Structure 1
């Protein structure tokens, strides 16, 4: 799905430059040179964006006021643009709910880098929020419950160690995605992964035994050779 960005900037040269880079980056851009017009559009269409880029000094209502109004209802990332460099302006913007702050003149490539960073963070935050609400997964008869810390297979209890439970839970909440051994180790053990570490492989093998998985064609935990593991 294409991501939609709100751009509010009254300087034509800057706005045109940013629009070119944003369009080339594959984003949909709603552009306004007046803060009040942008606010009216958001409120009239109940428009939610993936990210907003707001110039502080725009006519209608300034970027600070627009930021404050957006934060009354929406939580997507906001990047402030300004020609001012006073710390008080930066503090004001961040206090009102801005996520980042870029002073003019700037390199448009830097703006694009900041945009991508904020979008990645927002996506991870949303994914984490969704995962936090899920306490149980039922995958074709394999049930794992985080609240009770229990696991069962076709109604029969499967006794797992805390580490085994954490591995199975992480794979379950990332169903369909291949999880590299490095990621699995660092999220379950909370330590930096070291090359030639066979810890994950050994625990996966033990998990498969407990789940009575056939060696050649496991039903639940599948190996993607050279990449990692996944549950579909």
Structure 2
């Protein structure tokens, strides 16, 4: 973890100092801070962080808008810090490119735990041997290419946020199996705790918007009522 670069974005000095102190104790040596959206964008371009903790309420730029701008430069994991707890706010965060969120007030050790889980998964992926060609999954109108990190829909490479792609890969590796929300959360986000259903549900919707002819009536990634979700190899006709 020592070489991983962390960016903390918040306009409250007390929060920045607390998080930086905890991260330093946990052996994170490259921790950068920003108090405004402008500073955050500069830091993203300069340091290329592996993980970003992003406050929603900033003095110069809404955190959701800032997330969209950050996504122009990096696919780093973005965790929102927010005092907002409405479903609409949380959904907005995911739609703008966020991967996770924690509500204020928060326990800094929870953020560290989530950070470690994500970076451990990413580190394992980075260190892995080249993925064989059988990691290319064909589903009629779309292809999930693990090796290239690409989703190809109707022959066209389709932009796909990192966490959405990881979820789709997990489904592709477990085709025709029903996976519960809890199983998906543990497998893709890397920790057992799930604040609510929104995280998984929003990412399911984002997958459907990319692979389904009609996202409102999915035929590939289907809901199994009371159990979870299933990616089917051959949609029912």
Q: TM-score range by the shorter chain?
A: 0.5 to 0.7
Moved more, 100-109 or 66-75: 66-75
Q: What CA distance in whole angstroms lies between the structure 1 residues aligned with 2:110 and 2:43?
A: 28
Q: What CA distance in whole angstroms lies between the structure 1 residues aligned with 2:115 and 2:99?
A: 10
Give structure 1 stretches of 5+ with no counterpart.
136-145, 148-232
TM-superposed deviation, 1:117:
1.5
- Please list the CA deviations of residues 180-231 of structure 1 after superposition, one character each: whole Å capped at 9, or x if unmatched: xxxxxxxxxxxxxxxxxxxxxxxxxxxxxxxxxxxxxxxxxxxxxxxxxxxx
- Please list the CA deviations of residues 20-52 of structure 1 after superposition, one character each: whole Å capped at 9, or x if unmatched: 101111111110111111112333x3x311100
The residue that corresponds to 1:7 in the other structure is 8
Q: What CA distance in whole angstroms lies between the structure 1 residues aligned with 2:72 and 2:40?
A: 15
Give structure 2 stretches of 5+ with no counterpart.
136-237
| 1:131 counterpart = 2:130 | yes
CA separation of 1:52 and 1:24: change in aligned 2, threshold 3 A: same
- Please list the CA deviations of residues 60-101 of structure 1 after superposition, one character each: whole Å capped at 9, or x if unmatched: 222212211121231111110011111111111111221110
The residue that corresponds to 1:16 in the other structure is 17
The residue that corresponds to 2:38 in the other structure is 36
The residue that corresponds to 2:186 in the other structure is none
| 1:74 counterpart = 2:62 | no
The residue that corresponds to 1:111 in the other structure is 111
The two structures have a TM-score, normalised by structure 2, of 0.51
TM-superposed deviation, 1:124:
3.7
Indicate the SS of the match to 1:131: coil
Residues 57-68 of structure 1 mapped to structure 2, 5 A cutoff:
57-68=57-68
The residue that corresponds to 2:85 in the other structure is 85
Indicate the SS of the match to 2:130: helix
- Please list the CA deviations of residues 115-156 of structure 1 after superposition, one character each: whole Å capped at 9, or x if unmatched: 11121233344456x622x66xxxxxxxxxx89xxxxxxxxx
Runs of 4+ in structure 1 deviating by more than 3 angstroms, as ranges, are 124-128
